[in-house]
Amino acid sequence: MHQHNIAATTVENYKKLHDAGIGTYILFQETYHKKSYEALHPTGPKHNYAYHTEAMDRAMEGGIDDVGLGVLFGLELYRYELAGLLMHAEHLEAVHGVGPHTISVPRIQPADDIDPEDFDNGIDDDTFAKLIAIIRIAVPYTGMIISTRESAEVRKKALRLGISQISGGSRTSVGGYVEEEKVEENSAQFDVSDRRTLDEVVRWLMELGYIPSFCTACYREGRTGDRFMALCKSGQIQNCCHPNALMTLEEYLVDYASPETRAIGEKVIAEQLNNIPKEKVRQIAEKYIEEIKNNGKRDFRF
């Protein structure tokens, strides 16, 4: 997965990152509430609220057209943060013609190094679920990301409500929509709640009826920014996502999965191939999957 978290910077630096092939640029807004933001960063490089909040505009000016938003729920009142987040998405679409590629939903956990006396707006699981559902409806084209800081139970519910991307495990390094948890700047203090391996998470997703996908085809095909958004909003992207999911899942099964996960996965793939509506696409996908399984071929994509 080509996603990167890098602090707010200049248009020139964003250009460099774009030229280096950064992929999706993710930057969280800790809070959209200016006063609270400034209280959180009384000094230091992150002090300037406007500079931080306008980072995505500079990133897009610099040519990065896939950006990921997120607000840390719990610092300020969640209604304010939700409105800020949705307005941010609306703003990017209005000004740059491309809304957020992803939205992440981090929330403050008891382990966080933040004084609860100062910021006591933590949200419960039900409110969290509601927020996910609202973001899903309000920004239907965006990918939604939940981290391993949430428990398996919370993640299960969140998947039903619209989360499309989860991270899992820390043992196997593969790119994709089910992704190894990245080590972040301050991850030492992060309390990971879902400690299952990637293999366990992949199996669990299939048992819940989902197709785990490791697809990164759009980025590699240059389907980014407004090109991607058009395909996504019309729903046509599904014709790529579905067969790509099956092919990348097959790669995962062959290269990394435990025998048990592989057995379940092969069954899912066989069933799902029948659900590809276009005869021709189905035949090609079947052929590619055979090539992956039997001839060691990799990296097919629609």
Q: Which spans of this chain sit near ligand SF4 (rule: CB under 6 A)?
A: 213, 215-218, 237, 240-241, 244
Cβ-based nearer residue to ligand SF4, 218 or 276: 218
Cβ-based nearer residue to ligand SF4, 31 or 248: 248
Shortest reach from residue 24's CB to ligand SF4, in Å? 10
DSSP 188: G
Tokens of 2: 């080509």
Cβ-based nearer residue to ligand SF4, 84 or 99: 99
What is d(CA 288, CA 294) in angstroms, rounded to the nearest whole number? Answer: 10
Contact of 258 with 199, CB cutoff 8 Å = yes
Cβ-based nearer residue to ligand SF4, 198 or 241: 241
What is d(CA 160, CA 210) in angstroms, rounded to the nearest whole number? Answer: 10
What is d(CA 155, CA 132) in angstroms, rounded to the nearest whole number? Answer: 11
Between CA 206 and CA 216, with CA 212 as vertex, the angle to 5 degrees is 175
Bridge-based pairing of strands 3-5 and 102-104 is unpaired
CB count in 10 Å sphere of residue 13: 15
What is d(CA 223, CA 214) in angstroms, rounded to the nearest whole number? Answer: 16
Q: Which of 202, 208, 149 is CA-nearest to residue 172?
A: 202
Cβ-based nearer residue to ligand SF4, 26 or 131: 26
Torsion of CA 9, 1, 226, 83, to 10 degrees: -60
Shortest reach from residue 45's CB to ligand SF4, in Å? 33
Shortest reach from residue 39's CB to ligand SF4, in Å? 38
Amino acid of residue 238: Q
Bridge-based pairing of strands 143-146 and 165-167 is parallel
Shortest reach from residue 27's CB to ligand SF4, in Å? 20
Phi, psi of 258 (to 5 degrees): -70, 160
Cβ-based nearer residue to ligand SF4, 129 or 230: 230
Shortest reach from residue 251's CB to ligand SF4, in Å? 13
Shortest reach from residue 93's CB to ligand SF4, in Å? 18
Cβ-based nearer residue to ligand SF4, 135 or 211: 211
* Residue 228 burial (10 A CB sphere; 0-12, 13-18, 19+): buried
Cβ-based nearer residue to ligand SF4, 116 or 235: 235
Shortest reach from residue 139's CB to ligand SF4, in Å? 15
Shortest reach from residue 190's CB to ligand SF4, in Å? 26
